[in-house]
Structure 1
Amino acid sequence: MPTLTTNYLGLELKNPIIVASSGLTDSIEKIKELEANGAGAIVLKSLFEEEIVMEMEEQMHAMTNRPYVYPETFDYMEEEPHEDILRKYLRLIEDAKAAVSIPIIASINCVSAQKWIYFSQEIEKAGADALEINLFVLPTDMHRTGDENEHIYFDVLTTVKKQIALPVALKISPYHSNLANVIKRLDDMKVDGIVMFNRFYSPDINIDTLNVTSGQVLSNSDDYKNSLRWVGIMSDRINCSLAGTTGIHTSESIIKQILAGADAVQLASVLYKNGPGYIDILTKEIYSWMEEHGFESIQDFKGKICQSKSNDPAAYERVQFMKNFRNFIMH
């Protein structure tokens, strides 16, 4: 009888399907429904660094403009009936932990290692099982070097790891001058997991109104291949957990990610399209595939076709189409 259990960030998951940070994970009702349909873990909808910093500054401004500021003033602020964004998020963590038995992973979307860091301690106190940091700096500053951009990743990880004992995963972008080196350095710094890769807002242009608009929000079913490449390259070469995400819409793409070496995958777009019940379909299809191929556990085939074990390791690094298009005939 195959088992789908896997270990991610030191957490035991009943299966490798994690619901990614999104509007699907912003309420207890949705989280309970996702668990009922078989989700292995939940990443809560992200708080953004800007939200945290702005709310902190507003609270500090309100307190310091009072006639007298004693330590009790801070206690009073915490007891006011108004529930701000930060306290709502902490309550979501607490309520989710009470409502479901699967791991609850908090999420912060940030671009620096500045004022928001203290909030990671509050997340730990609220009972989250882990913290995922979604981190990307768009390299548009022509006066900042690539090394300076990459140091933000290292600064954030170092600072957060000093604050909390929770497992920390970094959800990163593929846009680095040497991605393999960045991941290896993060692993050496004891990151607990790497999520490949974050999906960005992309602008588009409406040629009728001549306005900048939003590009496609949901991923396509072919988008998983970039993370597949890098999971396969890095698997078996680093110690931290790996999760593939973006474009994972089928049981086949989940199985491929695990064969390449992923410990788990994160889904969102396909659940927006098909609903939470699709998780149960995916797990049953993975189970059937494992039975058909004689695998009793995820560990039996995890990383079986990563680059270091592949009979064609160069395929992971091939970036040109010469072989494919040599005999290509247009119709």
Structure 2
Amino acid sequence: MTELVERMQAALPSMLRDLETLVTHESPSADLAAVAASAELVGRLGTERLGTAPEYVVIDGRTHLRWRLGDGPSRVLVVGHHDTVWPVGSLATHPFAIEDGVLRGPGCFDMKTGLVMAFHAVAALPSAAGVTVLVTGDEELGSPSSRALIEEEAAGCVAALVLEASAEGALKLERKGVSTYEVRIAGRASHAGLEPELGVNASIEAAHQILAVSRLGDASVGTSVTPTALTSGTTRNTVPAEGSFMVDARARTVAEQLRVDAAMHSLQPVLAGASLEIVGGPNRPPLERKMSEELYRRASSLADSLGLAPLREISVGGASDGNFTAGVGTPTLDGLGAVGGGAHADDEHVVVAEIAPRTALLTALIADLLDTP
């Protein structure tokens, strides 16, 4: 199988040209026109590599791409996204460059290198029949328009392979589920100097609730519940009649996610005359370790056969579209994309020497899964 690594090494110049093409076309998630233009570019590039044009799926103005290869049912779903967090104009301060074996540019690590790897890996298969490549355009926003599409394509597949960047080369076997909430507080206004006792202070009620919410986390099982943005009141001399705060909750298991959700919706006001409204709930289910372990063992064996360094694994708090594929019961392996670092940061970069071997591993893993009865 080492021949496959050599083939990908020979294809590296082509991969780098493709990567320059993608990175130098900016695609911030919030800019619908930029995302649409990026989708056209990704579609042309994918068509060149895969030999067939994608379906363009536009939902709520956002453009996603889908290649269903072969005539039979899909068995392996390859997932990526072409949107980034970088605003248009970022190339002026963070230009595409390759120096001393390190590639830089907005979105190169998260996750345009992963897209190039996916196209070249699938193109290298003896037959790509049974593979679906799905490239979404709103992952950095939490996949509001593409979630149903991702879940639909994942359902029934033997595996979903997510081309998000790796964490310093480690594959991601666990991602925490994400829940988001807004706690809205209604009190009663009064003059803070003349009649403070007639008011119901929304700021004080918020303080009680923030402390209660902060106690819902359980570090022993990896559950975090974090109050974040807070607003309350209108003027210095008015008892606040309204307030609200946001909550970010992360959990490794579905059971923990549901426990926190029930507790959030059971919050009760402390001050007489105050009332609460709890808005929100689970946004992404957890990618639990049990959904990744067998795929990781398979990938590790293939890496050994390819003569690659032993694979490493990691658990992370951040979410991806792999949370959705695992949430519908599809075995999922995440972090198969670029090796590097600095996602969303000024030092975003990719280690060029890792691109070819990791693409060879992806090709071997897809082929192995397609051969599984």
Give the TM-score normalised by structure 2.
0.23
Question: Which protein has greater RCO, CA pairs closer than 8 Å, 6+ apart?
Answer: 2
Give the TM-score normalised by structure 1.
0.25
Name the structure where helix makes up a greater proportion of residues: 1
Name the structure where strand makes up a greater proportion of residues: 2
